[in-house]
Amino acid sequence: MTDRKRVCGPLVSVPPAFEVPEQPAFTRDRNADNCRKIYLKLGWATKAMGSAYYESGKIKIGCNVYGPRPNKTFSFQNVAKLNCEVKYSPFSLPERKGHVQSAEEKDYGFLLETALSPSILLHLYPKSSIDVYVQILESDGTMATLAAAITCASAAIADANIECIDLVTGVSLLYKIQGPEYWVDPDFMDECGRPRPYGSLVVGHMAALGHITQVWEKGNCTSERLKSLLEKCTETAKGIRLVINHTLSQEKLGSLVNDTP
């Protein structure tokens, strides 16, 4: 007696033939020294102490800041504890991400904490914690997304009225190891469409003080070339800082107009 609920396969089958995807081509519609246009919005989250929304091309990032608030640890701390968490949305990449934070995201959180901590006056908030949560809604280039997260988080900290000596802007750069070529603010096509080997550079820069808070370099280059690449990054960081200054001034002006009776 046959099982009517069982769907039997064919007696003769042919293995499926999958089409080989084409390799992405290098198509960059802007100069090597130019970065993508930036849109920045502050105060979009009502329940957070400070928030910022950052958009640059296909990169979309939201950041919320909570604190300074009392630390739950019983030991006394002279300075505040800065906690940074970076999380990719499941739909942020072509390959779907999981809901559990990965080791790569934990490393990005540590790099974000290292880049932001020199700009915050943590000694003014003893036995407190400042929590920064970065949600990447869409990514277009690993290095550029991390640099955008630094800029977005620093703007959210300023929106939370936390005392800082300066704001940090992040810049990414892709360079060819065996050649003089480089590309500022590389996107996904720049990273995948170029022949290897190449190196990458992510820099956190405080424009007012002229200090570099974070350098994350992957590759192999001489000290003279690294110095020239850092100069290119600092020039780009100064231009990004103007966007943050304009956004902060507009938000401050808008709050003064709303408070006027």
Which has the closest alpha carbon to 142: 68, 196, 201?
201
In the DSSP assignment, the letter for residue 164 is: B
| pLDDT, one tens digit for every residue, the chain (261 residues) | 566 777 776 777 777 787 766 655 556 778 888 899 999 999 988 889 999 999 998 999 999 999 899 887 767 788 999 999 999 999 888 888 888 888 999 999 999 999 999 999 999 999 899 999 999 999 998 999 999 999 999 999 999 999 999 999 999 999 988 888 899 999 888 888 766 778 899 999 999 999 999 999 888 888 899 999 999 999 999 999 999 999 999 886 665 445 555
Domain boundaries, the chain: 39-259
pTM: 0.86
Residues sharing a CB contact under 8 Å with residue 181, sequence separation 6 or more, in sequence order: 32, 175
Which has the closest alpha carbon to 172: 191, 159, 158?
191
Cα distance between residue 208 and residue 189, in whole Å: 33
Is residue 253 classed exposed, middle or buried when 0-12, 13-18 and 19+ CB atoms within 10 A define those classes? exposed
Superfamily of segment(s) 39-259: GHMP Kinase, N-terminal domain (3.30.230.70)
- DSSP states along 41-68: EE---SSSSEEEEEEETTEEEEEEEEEE
